[in-house]
Amino acid sequence: MGLIKFALQPGVNKSETVYKERFRYVDTQAVRFFNGLLEKLGGWAKYYGTAIVGKGRDLFPWQDDDGNSRVAIGTSKKLYYLYAGVLTDITPRRSSGTLANNPLVTTSGSAVVEVTHTNHGAAACDYVTLGGATAVGGITPDGEYAITTIIGPDTYRITHSANATSSATGGGASVTYAYQISIGLDDSIDSHGYGVGTYSGGTYSGASSSTVTLHARTWSLAVRGEDLFASPRGGSIYRWQPGDVRATVLTNATLTNVGMFVTADGMVVAVGAGGNKRRVDWADQDAPTTWTPAITNTAGTKTIEIGGEIIDGCADQRGVNLVYTEMAAIAMQRVTTDFVFDWDALGEATGLIGPNAHAHFLSRSYWMSNEDFLMFDGRVQPIPNSSDIRQLAFADINETQRAKFHAGVNAKFSEIWFFFAAMSCAI
């Protein structure tokens, strides 16, 4: 019996049954289609050998003015900078100073050290750096520590690297402290009870009946020139310049934001600005520390009235930036009038499912909405052939973990990758 030659079409169709779909792949794993043919993925290679602290949530590569490759990494607990094989912790600090006299207490045979600091404002697992202490109980607490236990508003505990040889109180009058910004959640959680939900939205002192998702820590990362701008979701915008030890708060920018991005012409934009999840603020094009609108600058503010709360935003090389809300993508296009930007909704059901579920490649934007995989190249449309897998993907997503959903680019193969948490898989 002779062989029969037939050609299988590229792509995977998960919307039809195995027996109905002819001459199509119906299931694959760790493969790609290249020039119409199936080939296995090349695998993964370790880029850096030392583990980072926290869960990686965003990675931003760029090149400096000399063509050197640099990478910023945001995790649930830290902000890092990787250059020439050296990983540097540049996590911003929220406060620093000197503690009161003899603030350290040790217990014989224990590595636990009790620290007294009035109104410290820290939470369990936050990071503090201590310095300048004299020996107490046979040990000298010095360096970075994760806070293990909060005893109260004025006292907490850390764990030193060695046990104390005696019980004592001391440390001297020159013990310095520096607290990093509070850590974020590794995983999103659905929460309800007292203090959850809109203020005054329920019975006074009663538990909320609504469920509110407390999101996993994500970061917005972008560059302007050689300066890195970083913002943890719900936090401030920070700036790091080559030579800086730490990222520091961007002067005059709003302190509570959903996210941020930098336009192609260098304007720093805050979305969900000032705690208002519908507001967009932007700094002057020539001065990222100028945020108050005036006739002499291009700073400004805008409240988005449609589409629900803002999820994130991104820059587009063609002068059209995108602000993503829950339900709609909004074009934010630079104009030459005093209004600076023109705003245009790009259709219904074009919103963003999670803050990192979008990517940009070759003058096109790609993202995962609440019910489709979309692209923008002057108009919004479904990504070609996404209908083949849409039903499978959206029937199994874990809505609670949408902060973890991520889109990325594999430029070598002109691919957009989407990562999302499924209900059928462990988180």
Residue that is written with structure tokens 């100073």 in the block: 97
Residue 239 sits in the same domain as residue 386:
yes
Residue 43 sits in the same domain as residue 102:
no
Pairing between β-strand 373-376 and β-strand 358-361 as defined by DSSP bridges: unpaired
Residues 9-50: pLDDT tens digits?
777 776 766 555 566 777 777 888 877 777 888 878 888 888
Residue 146 belongs to domain with CATH number: 2.40.30.20
Higher-pLDDT residue of 368 and 66 is: 368
* 60 lies in some domain: no
Looking at residue 407, its amino acid is: A
Residue 237 sits in the same domain as residue 286:
yes
* 21 lies in some domain: yes
Residue 228 sits in the same domain as residue 357:
yes
* 397 lies in some domain: yes
Is 256 in contact with 235 (CB distance < 8 Å)?
A: yes
**pLDDT above 90 covers what percent of the chain?**
65
pTM of the model: 0.89
Q: Which contiguous run of DSSP H or E holds residue 389?
A: helix 387-394
Q: What is residue 112's predicted lDDT score, i.e. its pLDDT?
A: 98
User: pLDDT tier at 426 (50, 70, 90 boundaries)?
Assistant: low
Q: For the ranges 15-19, 93-97, 215-219, which has the lowest average pLDDT?
A: 15-19
Is 142 in contact with 125 (CB distance < 8 Å)?
A: no
> How many domains in the chain?
3
Residue 126 sits in the same domain as residue 6:
no
Instruction: Find all residues with CB under 8 Å of 43, minimum gap 6, and list them.
Output: none
Question: Cα dihedral sign for 143, 84, 235, 266?
Answer: positive
* 59 lies in some domain: no
pLDDT mean over 68-93: 94
Q: Which of 47, 62, 78 is the endpoint of a domain?
A: 47
Q: What is residue 18's predicted lDDT score, i.e. its pLDDT?
A: 58
Residues 392-414: pLDDT tens digits?
888 888 989 999 999 999 888 88
In which domain, by residue range, is 149 found?
93-180
Residue 352 has pLDDT above 90, yes or no: yes
DSSP reduced 3-state for 273: helix
CA-angle at 286, arms to 281 and 291, nearest 5°: 30
Residues 223-278: pLDDT tens digits?
998 999 999 999 999 999 988 999 999 999 999 999 999 998 899 999 999 999 99
User: pLDDT tier at 210 (50, 70, 90 boundaries)?
Assistant: low
**pLDDT above 70 covers what percent of the chain?**
90
Q: What is residue 194's predicted lDDT score, i.e. its pLDDT?
A: 52
Residue 300 sits in the same domain as residue 379:
yes
Residue 173 sits in the same domain as residue 280:
no
Q: Which of 135, 162, 180 is the endpoint of a domain?
A: 180
Residue 219 sits in the same domain as residue 176:
no
Q: For the ranges 126-130, 230-234, 378-382, which has the lowest average pLDDT?
A: 378-382
Q: What is residue 348's predicted lDDT score, i.e. its pLDDT?
A: 87
Residue 263 sits in the same domain as residue 394:
yes
* 265 lies in some domain: yes
Q: Cα(90)–Cα(229) distance, rounded to whole angstroms? A: 12
Strand partners, 358: 367
Residue 166 sits in the same domain as residue 219:
no
* 10 lies in some domain: yes
Q: Which of 131, 156, 180 is the endpoint of a domain?
A: 180
Residue 235 belongs to domain with CATH number: 2.130.10.10
Closest CA to 252 of 290, 222, 285, 287: 290
Residue 176 sits in the same domain as residue 305:
no
Distance between start and end Cα atoms, the chain: 50
Residue 366 sits in the same domain as residue 282:
yes
Q: What is residue 201's predicted lDDT score, i.e. its pLDDT?
A: 43
* 204 lies in some domain: no
Residue 77 has pLDDT above 60, yes or no: yes
* 103 lies in some domain: yes
Q: Cα(404)–Cα(402) distance, rounded to whole angstroms? A: 5
Closest CA to 129 of 104, 155, 96: 96
Higher-pLDDT residue of 43 and 171 is: 171
Instruction: Find all residues with CB under 8 Å of 42, minimum gap 6, and list them.
Output: none
